[in-house]
Copies of this chain bind each other. A is one copy, B any other.
């Protein structure tokens, strides 16, 4: 149909201000937030922006580059709290919660963010603050490096897992089947699981059928954070 060809969207007819790279990436973030990552297509995004698909290439180079730039925006909105008059451990907790909140705001981009290496230094101020606080807590040298990796890997990794989604394919109703399978396990071979199933089902990794998007694991995250901080404390002296 000739109806679907060519950009006739929003007031872009006539001579418009040129696109900018930032504009394109912003639009990509919004599109992924709204329609999911697998719906984010150069062609679909172009149509949304009232432009020809190939126009995007001038600004972002390629689709992988666009997706990388979009996923790098996830942690962008975060403004780190001041360190003044607050203990390093509560500061770290606050920051962890901020990171988690930011990730929950863009769940469709988190899989990319979690599995792709950063290719720019936009996170440098963020890194500096964390390092400063950990150094203030008493970690230096390789200990500082390792503890930093512990914290970052824990927070970003844990929430990435929390936000796991069902395969884009999954037909409605697989959850029923999964839940049934779970409740049908043999109590003799799986006694602990059976005994704790009421608390576990849909609440724990590998025994849940809803994503953390729809069913946030708040309490478990709090515990995880507590375990992390206690572990760090015990390493200081």
Q: Does A57 contact B (CB under 8 A)?
A: no
Q: Which of B127, B150, B157 contacts A220 (CB 8 A)?
A: B150
B231 A145 Cβ-Cβ under 8 A: no
Closest residue of B by beta carbon distance from A150: B224
**Nearest CB in chain B to that of A110: its residue:** B115
- In Å, the complex CA distance between A143 and B116 comes to 33
Q: Which residues of B contact A203 (CB under 8 A)?
A: 145, 149
Contact residue among B63, B119, B149 (Cβ-Cβ distance under 8 Å from A223) = B149
Q: State whether B164 touches A161 (Cβ < 8 A).
A: no
Contact present for A206 and B118 (CB under 8 Å): yes
Are B65 and A205 in contact (CB-based, < 8 A)? no
Do B206 and A164 touch (CB < 8 A)?
no
Shortest C-beta distance, A144 to chain B (Å), equals 6
Instruction: Indicate if the CB atoms of A146 and B110 lie closer than 8 Å.
Output: no
* CB neighbours of A85 from chain B (8 A): none
> How does the 8 Å CB contact mask read for A163-193 relative to B, with 1 for contact and 0 for none?
1111111100010001001100100011111
Residue of A142, A153, A208, A219 most packed against chain B (CB within 10 A): A153
CA distance A192 to B131 in the complex (A): 7
Task: Tell me whether A14 is interfacial, beta carbon within 8 Å.
Answer: no
B114 adjacent to A205 (CB under 8 Å) = no
Report how far A3 CA is from B218 CA in the complex, Å. Answer: 56
Q: Would you give 17 A-B contacts (Cβ < 8 Å), ordered by A?
A: A63-B169, A64-B170, A65-B169, A116-B166, A116-B167, A120-B181, A121-B185, A127-B193, A128-B189, A132-B192, A147-B223, A149-B223, A153-B220, A153-B224, A154-B158, A227-B228, A233-B234
A67 in the interface (beta carbon within 8 A): yes
A20 contacts partner chain B, Cβ-Cβ < 8 Å: no
Interface residues of A in 190-237 (CB under 8 A from B): 190-193, 196, 199-200, 203-209, 211, 217, 219-220, 222-224, 226-235
